[in-house]
Amino acid sequence: MAESESRIADTGPLTYGRVLTLATPIIFANIAVPILGIVDTAVIGHLGRAAPLAAIAIGSQIFNFLYWSMGFLRMGTTGLSAQADGAGDTAEVVAVLLRSVLLGLAIGVLLVVGQRPIALAAARVFETGPDVAAMAREYFAIRIWGAPATMVTYVALGWFIGLRRTRVVLLLQVVLNGLNIVLDVLLVVGLGWGVRGVAMGTLISEWSAAVLAVGVIAWRLRRRWTGRLGAVSLTSRIFDPKAVVATIDVNRDIFVRTVLLIAAFVWFTRQGARSGDVVLAANHVLLQFLAFSAFFLDGFAFSTEALVGQAVGARSRSDLTLAVRLSTTLGLVTAAATAVVFTLAGPRIIDGLTTANGVRIAARSFLPYAVLHPLVGLWCFQLDGIFIGATRTADMRNTMIVSFGVYIAAWWVLWDPLGNHGLWIAFLVFFAARGITLGIRYPAVVESVSSSP
């Protein structure tokens, strides 16, 4: 076995307390993401017009599609590094990181180079008025230059989650989103730059977080592993054909799965736009509720990725099932609490996000769907974490294809009679289908791991 020092000292039995210790920094890190979305929405929403808010909704969805579809850089790195760490393979832990960084940089450069065709394609997807379209184009043209930085940050986050260094994850997210919030207030409220200010603040923050991530990684590698890993040996591990093929397989499956997930959100936004700028803006406000609950619950899902990956690497079925049981129980309690908060405070939160009266009224009418989301979505978040940690990515891909088909079918049936209400119901059906289809495949994950040593 390679040096055990590459692994984190997780002594003692797995308990609720240890899961919380692992998950809490991730939860706070994830909460920073929707808080940023809320601030983006609030600073633009208080301009008192629906058009800038709608432009941010469109621009955000474009980058959600681009960046979330590259989420395999984070998820694949987590699963592979956690398994390598569980097996005590120090060289592979480092090789996973460097292999993913090279891939991430290549993807980021390609996105910058291909920004014009991407912008043209996005313009055809979203049907909006000329004012909204112009502001959305400006937002895209600025933010796209942060693509290489975002890809590197994704890899770093995945690697640190896989090694269960969740405090570092919290640090990176605080820098990324905290700086972004400060720049939002400075550039939009202070300087009056509007949509352009939101985009510039995000760009500066993305590069700042990437530079910090590289610095922390370099410090960790120098402190822990310098002199233990020969350059020639490490290079051969990075480009080992078997490892490269495995990485490609995992990333390909997660890519397909994530593209369909983001396509579901894009479809939701596009159909909402058909009902006018007010409904589009109201849906965007409520998506901040979904983002808050989803990233909060993903704190437990991310910890599940690391713990399941560790158990698979160590070939311990008992560790896997215990990690799943403890993290899912905590996630369920959190989902119920989030639903209660949304029920009691939802109208006030809406009022805090926008001063446009029409948007407020519309958002209130669709609020119950945002309340239900944590309870419906918990199961697919947790199961995603299990399957990522186990790198059972073909199952993730296949079940997502089925779930997306169910979503479109539900929308087709419900849109005409119910309009935007039907769109929201179909959206919840999509999350439920993901949980059900992954749940059917869960026993196969357990069976694939050796019995407890």
Summarised one tens digit per residue, pLDDT across range 260-281 is 988 898 899 888 888 888 888 8
- Is pLDDT above 90 for 353? no
Residue 413 is classified by DSSP as H
Note whether 278 and 360 are within 8 A (CB): no
Q: Where are the domains of the chain?
A: 12-447
**Share in percent of the chain as helix, strand, coil (round to 5):** 85, 0, 15
User: Does 435 or 270 have the greater pLDDT score?
Assistant: 435
With bands split at pLDDT 50, 70 and 90, how would you rate the model's confidence at 156?
Answer: very high
438 token code pair: 């992954």
- On the CB side of 239, CA atoms within 13 Å amount to 6
Maximum CA extent, the chain: 67
| Burial of 213 from C-beta contacts in 10 A (0-12 / 13-18 / 19+) | buried
Task: Examine the pLDDT at 155 and tell me if it is beyond 90.
Answer: yes
More confident residue, 375 or 119: 375
Residue 47: the pLDDT is: 62
> Which tokens in the block code for residue 126?
């979203």
Question: What does the pLDDT read at residue 451?
Answer: 52
Q: Does 327 or 266 have the greater pLDDT score?
A: 327
C-alpha 76: how far from chain center: 13
- For 185-202, give one letter per residue: b (16+ CB within 10 A) or e: eebbeeeebbbbbbbbbb
Q: What DSSP character marks residue 145?
A: G
pLDDT, position 9: 39
354-367 core/surface letters (b: 16 or more CB in 10 A; e: else)? bebeebbebbbebb
Spatial CA neighbour of 3 closest among 90, 97, 96, 94: 90
pLDDT value of position 223: 67
In which band, very low, low, confident or very high, does the pLDDT at 401 lie, cut at 50, 70 and 90? very high
In which band, very low, low, confident or very high, does the pLDDT at 6 lie, cut at 50, 70 and 90?
very low
Return the top range by mean pLDDT from 54-58, 66-70, 256-260: 256-260
Percentage of the chain beyond pLDDT 70 is: 90
pLDDT band at 125 (very low <50, low <70, confident <90, very high): confident
* The 3-state secondary structure of 276-293, one letter per residue: CHHHHHHHHHHHHHHHHH
Phi, psi dihedrals of residue 126, rounded to the nearest 5°: -100, 130
User: What is the residue type of 45?
Assistant: G
Listed residue (132, 161, 196, 114) closest to 309, CA to CA: 161
Task: Please give the pLDDT value at position 149.
Answer: 94
d(CA 90, CA 315): 17
Tokens matching residue 209: 């977080």
Q: Which of 5-9, 32-36, 189-193, 263-267 has the highest mean pLDDT?
A: 263-267
pLDDT reported for residue 449 = 85
Residue type, 354: T
* pLDDT(74) > 60: yes
Residue 12 has pLDDT above 60, yes or no: no
What DSSP string describes 378-419? HHHHHHHHHHHHTT-HHHHHHHHHHHHHHHHHHHHHHHHHHT
Closest to 52 in 3D by CA, of 367, 356, 346:
356
CA pair distance 23, 28, nearest whole angstrom: 9
What pLDDT sits at residue 38?
67
Highest mean pLDDT among 69-78, 118-127, 214-223, 378-387: 378-387
**DSSP per-residue string spanning 349-367:** HHHHH---HHHHHHHHHHH
Separation between Cα atoms, residue 92 and residue 258, nearest integer Å: 25
pLDDT of residue 11: 47
CA dist 83 and 92 (Å) reads 10
Give the lowest-confidence range in 36-50, 193-207, 345-359: 36-50
